[in-house]
Amino acid sequence: MKYAGIDIGSRTIEFVVLEKGKIVENCITDTGFDPIFKAKKLLDGIEFDEIIATGYGRNLFEIDFENAKTITEIKAHARGVHALFKDATTILDIGGQDSKAISLNKKGRVKKFEMNDRCAAGTGKFMEIMAKNLGFSIDEFGMAALEAKKDLSINSMCTVFAESEVTSLIAKGADRKEIARGLHISIVKRATGMINRVSSEGPVVFSGGVAKNPCIRDLISQKLGREVLTPEDPQMMGALGAALIAGDQSIL
């Protein structure tokens, strides 16, 4: 039996197929303006017996794909992370347009969570906009912040106001790398606040696309005084968790 999971996010779609507990297919694509069309292209020609969808587009997927089931992103990430980090009790997931802090019990069940989905502040989209304003690619953004010689304060986390503040700082001759670091510090302040409200100890497993940013990882670890663990492919945690739950349900 092959069990599939698909995570239809605001920025990207991830897809995983498991057979006998091993990943036999995994792929990722941009969501674009028509996520269901992109999902169909991603699944084209790939065989599986059962599929579970998660992410913001999961309900649209359920309408278009007969017999598909859905689960929340919270449950999907909890299951995916627990499969790779058995002792994990805290998860931070920062995706394209929302962020989540999740605490787990020793069996990997969700105890408590907090989610920021009302604005793009501190998310992947926010970082893309700020990086572009500073003339960095998203891959360069974190490294530039690490190279800054001093911290610089950014007062606003609203995307519109932060963009205006960054423009003003550039006009005043502020160093681009220091502005980048200031933005990273602001993002981390919001993220660590969420983490502290759901969990106060132990390592933090960082999932989602923003987990690839080395400066965010380092600053979170420093501010919390806790180890930050990152999966090899942090964007795939939701899809992996959905596929694992598909397999669990078939056994039950």
pLDDT the model gives residue 183 = 94
- Token pair, residue 95, equals 């995706």
Residue of 109, 177, 187, 123 whose CA lies nearest to 148 = 177
- Token pair, residue 21, equals 């507990």
Q: Which residue pairs, CB below 8 angstroms and at least 24 apart, start in 81-86?
A: 81/108, 81/205, 81/207, 81/231, 81/237, 81/241, 82/108, 83/240, 83/241, 83/244, 84/205, 84/231, 85/203, 85/205, 85/229, 85/231
Write the DSSP symbol of residue 110.
E
Please list the ranges in the chain whose pLDDT falls under 70.
117-120, 249-252
pLDDT the model gives residue 97 = 83
pLDDT the model gives residue 120 = 67
pLDDT the model gives residue 178 = 96
Inter-axis angle of helices 138-146 and 124-133, nearest 10: 80
| Percentages (nearest 5) of helix, strand, coil residues in the chain | 45, 20, 30
pLDDT the model gives residue 159 = 75
Write the DSSP symbol of residue 113.
E
Q: Domains in the chain, ordered, with CATH?
A: 1-85+233-252 (3.30.420.40), 88-230 (3.30.420.40)
pLDDT the model gives residue 118 = 62
pLDDT the model gives residue 152 = 87
**Residue 221 carries which side chain, given as an amino acid letter?**
S
pTM of the model: 0.90
Residue of 115, 53, 122, 111 whose CA lies nearest to 78 = 111
pLDDT the model gives residue 250 = 52
Partnered with residue 26 across adjacent β-strands are 16
pLDDT the model gives residue 252 = 35
* Chain mean pLDDT for the chain: 92
